[in-house]
Amino acid sequence: MRYRFLDEIVSLTLDGTPRIEVAKRFDAAEDFFSGPHGPWRLPESILLELMAMTGGHLVFRHLGECRLPLLLKVPECRFEGPAFAGEPLRAVATLGGVSSASDGTSVAETEARVYGENRQIALARIMFVCVSMPSIDLELVMPKGEA
């Protein structure tokens, strides 16, 4: 089982209000489509993961690709409609803010939304703790050329 939560980074802006937009289409053959909603409906947990990955990529790039964002908490999350297998989805995240601690860690907050066609499917405020990982090559964790 190999999940790839972002197919493509559509746009990335780090000036002004940092923002990222990604594209994703979940294949009907993925094993999470065997859940209680049936074989075609995407579970809400996967939508939340898409929003977290989108926000994480934005935070990683905003912080100069030198600190790894780890999911801290989701203070707010709302699902407004279903998403389905094969449906082209767009996820958009904006950076709400970053605060730094004296130990070198940072806490970042994003707001993320998922859209299918012209309808909003989900939205969430997501917080990350961002840590330096000197023993890990972050380029391998979050490559520049791929999502």
The C-alpha atoms of residue 62 and residue 50 are separated, in whole angstroms, by 18
Beta bridge partners of 23: 8, 90
Integer-rounded Cα Rg, in Å, for the chain is 15
Tens digit of each residue's pLDDT (9 = 90 or more) over 75-104: 999 999 999 888 999 999 999 999 988 888
Tens digit of each residue's pLDDT (9 = 90 or more) over 36-71: 666 688 889 999 999 999 999 999 999 988 889 999
Torsion sign across C-alpha atoms 127, 111, 118, 53:
negative
For each of the domains in the chain, give its residue range(s) and CATH number, in order of start: 8-138 (3.10.129.10)
Phi, then psi, of 22 in degrees rounded to 5: -125, 160
Residue 140 Cα distances to 59, 136, 144, angstroms: 17, 8, 9
Query: Do residues 93 and 19 lie in contact, with contact meaning Cβ atoms separated by under 8 Å?
Result: yes
pTM: 0.86
